[in-house]
Structures are given as C-alpha cells and as structure tokens.
Amino acid sequence: QAAAAQEQKLVVVSVSPQSRASLAVRCKLGLQDTAQRLTRFFKSVHYVFDTTFSRNFSLLESQQEFVRRFHRQADDKKSLPMLASACPGWICYAEKTHGSFIIPHISTTKSPQQVMGSLVKGYFAEQQHLSPDRIYHVTVMPCYDKKLEASRPDFFNQEYQTRDVDCVITTGEVLKLLEQEGVALAEVEPAPLDTMLGVPEAELCGHAGGGSGGFLLHILRHAGRELFGIREGSVRYRALRNKDFQEVTLERDGEVLLHFALAYGFRNIQNLVQKLKRGKCPYHFVEVMACPSGCLNGGGQIKLEGESSKEELQQVERLYESLRAEAPEENQAVRELYEHWLGGWGSERALQVLHTQYHALERASSALSIKW
C-alpha cells in the first residue's frame, strides 16, 4: 500500500480560457461560475489552474522578443516580420512546408500551454518538493493540435523521462466526460479557484485583444512604448479580404510607425506565405492562427450545427471578452515568479525556460500533401 501511495502522482489540470467560455455558453453559466464548478468537478485531482496565468508569460516574452528583433533588423533580414508561435496548427504547417524559409521568422516564445507545462513541472514541482515526473499534468484546450504540441520532443524532459504536459483533452471531451458521469455542471458545488502561488483567486481576469490571446495588441502597445515612447497612440484596424485578415497600424501624426497584421485560417496563411516568399510582406509582426475566427472557434470546442453554430460562437466571444482585462506586467504573481524563480526580466533563465525551437521537416515529408 505504501508503495502504491508512493507511486501515486499529484494530478494538475490546467484549463484554457477559450474552453471555459465554450463550456459556460453550453451550460448557460457565467465564466467565474464555470471556473469554480469545473474546479470542484476536477477535484478528484489535486489542483486546477487557469492557463490565462501562463499566457501572461507568453505575452511578456513575445513583447520583449519583438523589441529585440526590431533592433536587429538591419543586420538580420529574417528577424522581421516576427510571426506568432502560439498555434500548433500553424507551426506544424510551417515546419512541414516551408521550414527553413519560415522558421527564422517564428517567435521562439512558448505557447501558453507549454509555458504552463514549464511552470507546473518546474516551479510548482519545486514548491511541492516533487520531481517533475511525480506530477501528472493535464490541459483542457480548444483544439486537437495542442495534443501534437504537447508531444513534441522539445517538451520532453530527458532527465526525468516526463513531458511538460502529459495529456491534453479538448473542450468537447470535457463535455463528454460530464455527460458520461451524468453530471450537470450547473448542479456542481462551486469551489475556490486554485492558484500557483497558493493564494486563492478572487476574480478571473482576461487579456485584451481577442480570443486567440491578444498577442498582436500586447506586442503593438509594448513596442509603441519601448521603441517610440508612445503611451496612447492611435491604433487602426483595417479588414483586408475578410475579418480574418486585418492590418493594424500604430500611427503618430499620420505617420505609420508599426505595421502589424492578423492572419487567421489557412487561406489567409497561404496568402501571407506567398507575400513573404515574394519579398512583399510589409508587416513587422503577424498574429497567425490556423482556425478561421481563431481559438474560440477551435476544432475541439463545443459546437452546434449550421446557423446556430455562428450564433453560439458569437455568444462565446461576447462572454470571453466580458472579463476584466489585465496587463500581464501588472500581475503580482507573475512579477514574483520572474523575480524569484526566473532571475528577472530578460534573464538567461527566462530565455531557457520560456522559449523553444522549431525544426524544418519539408524534405522528410515531401510526399505529404496538405489540402485546405
């Protein structure tokens, strides 16, 4: 029995804010309520975290990485445009089809899921006096591609023979789990929300800038401040072909200082890649996401058929955006972890823990044809 107890792992579930919004709409609950009831539902496991927390680190690292790349653009032609890295659907495509050409443009910052993996198996394991392999880490995500991301060799700890994220379940799979157990989420007792620093979370917060994480907006604001001293610039969004391909500019006295874009869905990604290949890509940064409408519309989300599906997506978007938006640098727990665990902003350790690498696979997979 003692051996069995020793073998038992500490189980941590990290829930994405997109999955929470999708479940909230389907179960007709508020976001806070959904988070608290999910925490109770999962409480046969030990801790339930929110990946909004790890996204703070992804946003901060992306901001700093962009400024570094901007400064090096004269010496390194591939430092810009910087392309977002949070979507594994896009990363897989880029590695398989245009690997060596595109990889230098892709931000090395880990996605919120994988930052959470590093936090749980790194910081949290240390706090619990456990080795990383003594924790079993499950994430709840809006898409199936996050399963592929978690299984990348880059996120496998050779020393302890363990993954940063051991198992990924989609939002739809959580709904199935609830149904199989005969549980109505609305009838589950709410529980206080866990946080990594041990102080229960009183109120859920989100990030500004849309359902895919707000990378574009956060990088734009930060770069405006750092590179041009602009605190309140005029930011203009302009839809090009459709709302999934937009140009965003930061302007001062009519002069465009930063030119960003958002490209969602493979058709728009293909256009972007063509622009890059022809040397006609005018952007400094592009938020690239494989799903049309982004992560709130991910393949793993709960969906109705036909017209009602559109309406449900709009409800999910509205609910998702209803949370108070917090700037990542203002989060006290994030500051504390940077200071005491990572050794400060921009430290070597932060680079090592919060960044990753990509691999050109085009030759190995030349027989692979991807259809859109």
214 lies in the binding site for ligand SF4 (CB under 6 A):
no
Helix extents (H) in 110-249: 112-118, 125-127, 145-150, 171-180, 215-228
Q: How far is CA 122 from the centre of its chain?
A: 18
Measured at CB, which residue is nearest to ligand SF4?
298
C-beta atoms surrounding 235 within 10 Å:
17
Q: Which of 48, 281, 291, 319 binds ligand SF4 (CB under 6 A)?
A: 291
Q: Which of 48, 84, 273, 295 binds ligand SF4 (CB under 6 A)?
A: 295
213 lies in the binding site for ligand SF4 (CB under 6 A):
no
138 lies in the binding site for ligand SF4 (CB under 6 A):
no
Name the minimum Å distance from CB 88 to ligand SF4. Answer: 6
At residue 53, φ and ψ (nearest 5 deg) are: -65, -50
Name the minimum Å distance from CB 254 to ligand SF4. Answer: 34
143 lies in the binding site for ligand SF4 (CB under 6 A):
yes
317 lies in the binding site for ligand SF4 (CB under 6 A):
no
Name the minimum Å distance from CB 16 to ligand SF4. Answer: 9
Per-residue DSSP letters for 60-108? Answer: HHHHHHHHHHHHTTTT-TTSSSEE----HHHHHHHHHHHHHHHGGGB--
Cβ 247 vs Cβ 261: under 8 Å: yes
Residues 168-197 that bind ligand SF4 (CB under 6 A): none
As a whole number of angstroms, the distance between CA 216 and CA 222 comes to 10
Residues 76-95 that bind ligand SF4 (CB under 6 A): 87-89
145 lies in the binding site for ligand SF4 (CB under 6 A):
yes
Strands 10-15 and 135-141: parallel
298 lies in the binding site for ligand SF4 (CB under 6 A):
yes
272 lies in the binding site for ligand SF4 (CB under 6 A):
no
As a whole number of angstroms, the distance between CA 198 and CA 259 comes to 41
**Nearer residue to ligand SF4 within complex by CB, 210 or 224:** 210
- Binding segment for ligand SF4 (CB under 6 A), chosen from 50-58, 218-226, 284-292, 323-331, is 284-292
Name the minimum Å distance from CB 86 to ligand SF4. Answer: 6
Please give the structure tokens belonging to residue 309. Answer: 């599906």
In sequence order, what E strands does the chain have?
10-15, 47-50, 82-83, 135-141, 156-157, 162-163, 167-170, 234-239, 245-252, 255-264, 285-289
294 lies in the binding site for ligand SF4 (CB under 6 A):
yes
Cβ 138 vs Cβ 146: under 8 Å: no
Name the minimum Å distance from CB 244 to ligand SF4. Answer: 11
**Nearer residue to ligand SF4 within complex by CB, 143 or 262:** 143
Spatial CA neighbour of 293 closest among 263, 318, 272, 323: 263
Total chain residues near ligand SF4 (CB under 6 A): 12
**Nearer residue to ligand SF4 within complex by CB, 17 or 233:** 17
**Nearer residue to ligand SF4 within complex by CB, 119 or 291:** 291
First and final C-alpha spacing in the chain = 53
Per the DSSP assignment, residues forming a β-bridge with 106 are 83
313 lies in the binding site for ligand SF4 (CB under 6 A):
no
Name the minimum Å distance from CB 149 to ligand SF4. Answer: 8
Strands 245-252 and 234-239: antiparallel
Name the minimum Å distance from CB 70 to ligand SF4. Answer: 25
Residues that bind ligand SF4 (CB under 6 A): 87-89, 142-143, 145, 289-291, 294-295, 298
